[in-house]
Amino acid sequence: MSGTLYLCATPIGNLDDMTFRAIKILREVAIIAAEDTRHTRKLLTHFDIHTPMIRFDENCKSIVGEKILSQLQAGESIAVVSDAGLPAISDPGAELVKLAVDAGIKVSPIPGANAALSALICSGLDTSKFLFAGFAPKTKKNRREFLQKLSGVDATIIFYEAPHRLRTFLTELAEIFGEREIVLARELTKVHEEFLRGKIGDLLEKMPEPRGEYVVLVAGSKISAEIPPDENISAVVEKFMADGLDKKSAMREAAKIFNVSRREIYNKLLSLEL
């Protein structure tokens, strides 16, 4: 019989968030596959866990993945942990799960801390519908395309971002999303935990130099849910104009909703007028 692949959550800052079950499973499994063994060693030492570890990160995932798979098939259970939170969420693990699922091996979660959901539940934004977008691409062109595609989503959007890229990210977010409500969830579960809430531009002005870890949450687009696509482009432009925007700005806002360029909106309006 094959072993079980456990996806094991670890704390995102506060060691007290480690669960009893995580400690038990990490003690019981044959091997712990860790994103960074030196980092995880500290956690294991703290909880008196002496299970052997194997490194499993982006660079070695295919070789180690196969090795882990054959051990699971040989009947050993293995736990995957990342540096913080849930493995496979903006962290290694997803490929391993795919390998195990394809091989008919049991995969089981050991739930616990996660930055995205911890931020969402305290954000004050709509929690009934949300989209986890993870890290934005690093190159400007890809990042802008990525944000453009998300700008019309009518659900709370959750991003992860590194502190040294946060200002650039928020500046581009403001350009593409307009003046949306956002929440910056900083240093969750740690001593300097804080939530900054407001319009993107205001927060950019008020915010001190970003330090620590951040989750960025953005309120969903209000209009896209109400307005069906394409033939109603003119209705959207008219709605924005009725709300006080000039035609150029109204087309720019409509372009964000329909995820097209302003030029395309302009052309569409021309064709509708014919």
For ligand SAM, give the closer residue by CB, 35 or 253: 35
For ligand SAM, give the closer residue by CB, 169 or 177: 169
For ligand SAM, give the closer residue by CB, 1 or 191: 191
For ligand SAM, give the closer residue by CB, 196 or 204: 196
Shortest approach of ligand SAM to residue 118 CB, angstroms? 8
Question: Which single residue brings its beta carbon nearest to ligand SAM?
Answer: 85
3-state SS, 41-100, equals HHHHHHCCCCCCEEECCCCCHHHHHHHHHHHHHCCCCEEEECCCECCCCCCCCHHHHHHH
**Sites of contact with ligand SAM (CB under 6 A):** 12-13, 82, 84-86, 89-91, 114-116, 160-162, 185, 187-190, 213-215
Q: How far apart are CA 182 and CA 119, in angstroms?
A: 12
Shortest approach of ligand SAM to residue 162 CB, angstroms? 5
Shortest approach of ligand SAM to residue 77 CB, angstroms? 21
Shortest approach of ligand SAM to residue 253 CB, angstroms? 28
For ligand SAM, give the closer residue by CB, 94 or 223: 94
Shortest approach of ligand SAM to residue 47 CB, angstroms? 19
Shortest approach of ligand SAM to residue 119 CB, angstroms? 7
For ligand SAM, give the closer residue by CB, 173 or 237: 173
